[in-house]
């Protein structure tokens, strides 16, 4: 894992002091709320429906046990004993007091954490593949590049007041587990003629105008990455719209100019403004890569223990995947236990997980964009012990990638922007599809739920997407089908008129029946069937003879 | 209002010319011109070697190579709102693309929290209220030298 | 703040600056309970807008808003109900 240098430490500490100063000036009335708001947002502090909300960065989703313990401590001391993991691999506290926030930031800085640029119109936390460095088909580990970009983007003097927020994701292989193509900039590490570099995508995003990112460069040499990012950001900062908040993201600029015109502006900035000092030499790269080496794992022939316990076997099948070093496994921990808000973990669970990771996974924990956690390096022979331990903490739900493994935003229970609740919908789904075998029969299926058009719950890219709407004071839910956040990224299509909360489960059942009817063989998954038969069949089955419940 | 150039305080020596008084003969050392006024008079100004400032609004930071902006003595950018980040990029362009070597000044709605950002993008000075001086200097000290970018 | 208002009767609400918690305007000032909140008629809005603007300036509250009541005097919208009585799910 990355370790802070003296410079990192100084920067983070001075930032705490600066924020403390800003809070003081706000309370004294020397900063108006209008002035304070962008400053607090740049420190991850929102005002939500009931209280402030603090979003803490987990750079590229990587946590140490020590950091997780500190998060649990903060949840207990300054919040209500839980936290919410987000789709950008961060964690949110829902109830902090403004007066406590400088102290919370000081606590975080003691374990090399912060809340810098987790909100506001600046470059946000860099997100990545939660399996980075763990799989065989990876061209290169993306995390060192995330760290290089994190440094460059932190307190960037030129790009801290952009037209709108700016999200970057980096992946290191063909498989996309980071929803890279719905980011403002997506980077994929690629190899060409024995040279490793980046394939660069720009202008993706969700919200009210969902767009899949366009490729702007097929190959960019590694050393140029920061200069190229700088050229894109320069173009966006100058040309991006500031007259309308809904048209201010880079995706709208790329759309309005067209990718070719946008590319020519970027390439011109790249050739004219590139700065030698921003080039990354091999020595830099080597130094940063040094932080991300695997722990001392010895390849061995240990098998996964066999036990006559169906629950354990289901968990192995569903949540455990092989590590690139033989004899080890990657254990995925579902934060979608029945009745629990997706992505939430209590402080007790976090403390237990910190201890578990120390015992079983070299003190390392990862956060996934699908709001789950990962123990990256578990010895095969420990899997049964680990499962028993996780089960005690209600952290052994076997549903990874299945219908109850929903992505879900906080919705109107917490969020000031939401138009409907989303957590109760997710809970209804997990209650209705409680049975593992039933879920397994439905197969791989991603349901993603947002409580408003801003799409924090990624509904546009759900195989089944659910969007909460307000219709004359009533919560209604619009369904989209066929979305994907993977390497075949697709925006889902709206199936038709929306459903009340009481009709929603029946609607999902009908959609699943259409799928089952057309499924050619056991392994043909929902998305494949949808792509083959199109939305028409689903529409017909869904709306003909629909019995409306009031 | 005072001018801060890093931690040093100066009096402002520049002055706007009211639009109705804008006659070529009224331009003198220390006059502040709009970009359209500069375009109309830049040859005379250069012939007579007068030191003038050219003023931009954060809303309209546009320039062409024909403007010969590097010949101006000072450029002032007025922030309509501190949230508008365009002047930061414009400052970089003035320094790196338009080869402007004179004084670059920020004025208007800017926050002391932006002081170091301004300096690092190529600004030399800021125009602020005299009573705010202490907080500007305090934040300069907290932040100075602490950054990742070259 | 007034422009979008519909309805006849309202409560004045806001968040406390220091803590962020939801508060309502009562005869005794700001309170975290809506029970004693003053019921404001639509033609009194201006007066209460001034009060909230003053308290905003004094750095006591932020984000003031008028909460619409229905004919029975209950909070009307689901969002405002949740804002008043808390999250609807179990943690």
Burial of A475 (0-12, 13-18, 19+ CB in 10 A): buried
Instruction: Give domain status of residue B137, yes or no.
Output: yes
Mean pLDDT of A32-50: 96
- C68: β partners: C10
Domain that holds residue C53: 9-85
- Which among A27, A97, A344 has the least Cβ separation from residue C20? A97
- Contact between A393 and A379 (Cβ < 8 Å): no
CA distances from B18 to A129, B37, B128 (A): 59, 11, 22
**Ramachandran region, residue A538 (left: φ > 0; alpha: ψ -120 to 50; beta: rest):** alpha
Domain membership of residue B108 (yes or no) is yes
Judge whether B66 is closer than 8 Å to chain A, CB to CB. no
Number of domains within chain C? 1
Taking only the tens place, the pLDDT of each residue in B46-88 is: 888 889 999 999 999 989 888 999 999 999 999 999 999 999 9
- Judged against a pLDDT cut of 90, whether residue A396 lies above it is answered with yes
Average pLDDT along chain C, 91 residues, taken 10 residues at a time = 76 98 97 96 95 97 96 95 95 78
Query: In whole angstroms, what is the distance from residue A353 CA to residue A373 CA?
Result: 10
Token readout for B86 is 């365009």
d(CA A469, CA A302): 51
Unique residue bearing structure tokens 């803490």: A56
Measure the CA dihedral A307/A308/A311/A315, to 10°: 30
Asked if residue C59 belongs to a domain, the reply is: yes
Query: The dihedral of CA A127, A131, A134, A139: what is its sign?
Result: negative
B22 inside domain: no
Q: Evaluate whether residue B114 is within a structural domain.
A: yes
Domain count, chain B: 1
Q: Is A333 helix (H, G, I), strand (E, B) or coil?
A: strand
**Is it the case that residue A236 has pLDDT exceeding 90?**
yes
What CATH number corresponds to the domain at position B131?
A: 3.20.20.70
| Domain presence at residue C18 | yes
Contact (Cβ atoms closer than 8 angstroms) between residue B88 and residue B120:
no
On whether the CB atoms of residues A69 and A350 are closer than 8 A, the answer is: yes
Average pLDDT of the segment spanning A437-453: 97
Res A227: pLDDT: 98
- Tokens 């994701």 correspond to A169
Q: Chain A: nearest CA to C4, how far in angstroms?
A: 15
CATH number of the domain located at residue range(s) A134-289 in this protein: 3.30.413.10
**Fold exhibited by the domain A6-109:** Sulfite Reductase Hemoprotein; domain 2 (3.90.480)
Confidence at residue C7, expressed as pLDDT on a 0 to 100 scale: 87
Is B148 part of any domain? no
In a domain, B103, yes or no: yes
Q: Is residue B81 part of a domain?
A: yes
Q: Is pLDDT at A417 greater than 60 in this prediction?
A: yes
* Spans of chain B below 70 pLDDT: 20-21
Q: Max Cα separation, chain C?
A: 41
Give residue B17's pLDDT: 78
Question: Does residue C23 lie within any of the structural domains?
Answer: yes
B85 contact A CB<8A:
yes
User: Within a domain: residue C90?
Assistant: no
Q: What is the pLDDT of residue B144?
A: 74
pLDDT band at A121 (very low <50, low <70, confident <90, very high): very high
pLDDT score, position B46: 86
- Domain presence at residue B150: no
Q: Average the pLDDT over A447-453 and give the result.
A: 98
pLDDT of amino acid B1 = 93
Top CATH class of A310-392 equals alpha beta
pLDDT, chain B, mean: 91
Output phi, psi for C69, to 5 deg: -105, 150
A472-526, pLDDT tens digit by residue?
999 999 999 999 999 999 999 999 999 999 999 999 999 999 999 999 999 999 9
Backbone angles phi, psi at C3, to 5 degrees: -45, -50
Residues in chain A: 550
Architecture per CATH, domain A407-543, reads as 2-Layer Sandwich (3.30)
Q: Which residues of A touch B (CB under 8 A)?
A: 7, 10-11, 14, 17-18, 21-22, 25, 30-31, 35, 38-39, 121, 151-152, 154-163, 234, 237-238, 242, 272-273, 275, 277-278
Q: Of the candidates A64, A45, A42, A46, which has an alpha carbon nearest to the alpha carbon of residue A113?
A: A64
C91 assigned to some structural domain:
no
Domain residue limits at B99: 2-17+27-143
List, by residue range, all CATH 3.30.413.10 domains of chain A.
Answer: 134-289, 407-543
pLDDT at A451: 98
Q: If pLDDT is split at 50, 70 and 90, which confidence band does A269 have? A: very high
Residue C37 lies in a domain: yes
């Amino acid at each position: 894992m990355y370790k802070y240098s003296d410079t990192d430490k100084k920067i983070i500490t001075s930032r705490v002091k600066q924020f403390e100063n800003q809070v003081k000036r706000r309370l004294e009335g020397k900063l108006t709320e209008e002035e304070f708001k962008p400053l607090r947002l740049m420190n991850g502090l929102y005002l939500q429906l009931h209280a402030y909300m603090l979003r803490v960065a987990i750079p590229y989703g990587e946590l140490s046990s020590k950091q997780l313990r500190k998060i649990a401590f903060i949840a207990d001391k300054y919040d209500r004993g839980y936290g919410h993991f987000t789709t950008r691999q961060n964690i949110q506290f829902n109830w902090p007091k403004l007066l406590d926030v400088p102290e919370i930031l000081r606590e975080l800085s003691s374990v090399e954490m912060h809340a810098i640029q987790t909100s506001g119109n600046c470059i946000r936390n860099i997100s990545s593949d939660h399996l980075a460095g763990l799989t065989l088909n990876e061209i290169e580990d993306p995390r060192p590049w995330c760290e290089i970009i994190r440094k460059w983007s932190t307190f960037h003097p030129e790009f801290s007041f952009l037209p709108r927020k700016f999200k970057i994701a980096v992946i290191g292989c063909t498989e996309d587990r980071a929803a890279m193509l719905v980011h403002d900039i997506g980077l994929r590490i690629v190899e060409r003629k024995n040279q490793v570099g980046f394939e660069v995508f720009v202008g993706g995003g969700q919200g009210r105008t969902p767009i899949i990112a366009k490729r702007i460069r097929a190959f960019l040499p590694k050393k140029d990455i920061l200069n190229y990012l700088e050229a894109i950001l320069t173009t966006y900062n100058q040309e991006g719209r500031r007259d309308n908040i809904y048209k201010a993201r880079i995706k709208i600029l790329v759309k309005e100019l067209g990718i070719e015109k946008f590319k020519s502006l970027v390439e011109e900035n790249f050739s004219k403004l590139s700065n030698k000092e921003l080039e990354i030499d091999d020595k830099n790269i080597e130094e940063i890569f040094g932080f991300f080496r695997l722990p001392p794992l010895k390849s061995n022939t240990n098998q996964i223990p066999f036990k006559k316990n169906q629950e354990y076997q289901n968990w192995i099948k569903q949540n455990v995947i092989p590590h690139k070093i033989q004899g080890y496994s990657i254990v995925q921990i579902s934060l979608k236990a029945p009745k629990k808000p997706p992505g939430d973990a209590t402080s007790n669970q976090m403390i237990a997980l910190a201890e578990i990771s120390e015992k079983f996974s070299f003190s390392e924990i990862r956060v996934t964009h699908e709001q789950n956690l990962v123990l990256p390096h578990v010895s095969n022979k420990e899997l049964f012990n680990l499962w028993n331990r996780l089960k005690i903490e209600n952290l052994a739900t076997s549903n990874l990638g299945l219908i109850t493994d929903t992505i879900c935003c906080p919705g109107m229970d917490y969020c000031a922007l939401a138009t409907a609740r989303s957590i109760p919908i997710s809970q209804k789904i997990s209650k209705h599809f409680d049975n593992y075998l039933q879920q397994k029969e439905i197969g791989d299926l991603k349901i993603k739920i947002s409580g408003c058009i801003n799409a924090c719950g990624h509904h546009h890219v759900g195989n089944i997407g659910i969007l909460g709407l307000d219709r004359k004071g009533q919560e209604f839910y619009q369904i989209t089908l066929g979305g994907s956040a993977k390497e075949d990224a697709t925006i889902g299509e709206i199936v038709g008129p929306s459903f009340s909360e009481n009709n929603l489960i029946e609607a999902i059942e009908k959609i699943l029946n259409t799928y089952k009817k057309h499924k050619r063989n056991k392994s043909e998954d929902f998305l494949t069937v949808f792509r083959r038969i199109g939305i028409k069949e689903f529409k017909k089955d869904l709306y003909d003879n629909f019995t409306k419940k009031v | 209002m005072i001018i801060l150039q890093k931690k040093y305080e100066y009096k402002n020596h520049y002055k706007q010319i009211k639009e109705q008084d804008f006659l070529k003969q009224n331009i003198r050392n220390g006059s502040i011109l709009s970009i359209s006024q500069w375009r109309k008079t830049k040859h005379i100004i250069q012939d007579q070697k007068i030191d003038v400032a050219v003023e931009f609004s954060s809303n309209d930071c546009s320039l062409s190579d024909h403007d010969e902006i590097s010949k101006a003595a000072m450029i002032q950018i007025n922030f309509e709102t501190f949230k508008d980040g365009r002047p930061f990029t414009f400052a970089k362009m003035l320094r790196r693309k338009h080869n402007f070597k004179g004084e670059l000044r920020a004025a208007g709605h800017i926050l002391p929290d932006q002081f170091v950002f301004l300096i690092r993008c190529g600004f030399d000075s800021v125009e602020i209220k005299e009573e705010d001086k202490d907080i500007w200097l305090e934040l300069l000290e907290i932040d100075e030298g602490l950054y990742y970018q070259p | 703040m007034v422009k979008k208002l519909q309805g006849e009767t309202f409560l004045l609400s806001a968040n406390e600056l220091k803590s962020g918690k939801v508060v309502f305007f009562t005869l005794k000032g700001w309170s975290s309970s809506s029970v004693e909140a003053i019921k404001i008629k639509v033609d009194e809005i201006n007066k209460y807008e001034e009060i909230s603007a003053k308290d905003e300036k004094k750095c006591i509250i932020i984000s003031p808003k008028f909460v619409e009541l229905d004919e029975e005097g209950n909070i009307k919208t689901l969002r405002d109900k949740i804002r008043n009585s808390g999250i609807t799910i179990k943690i």
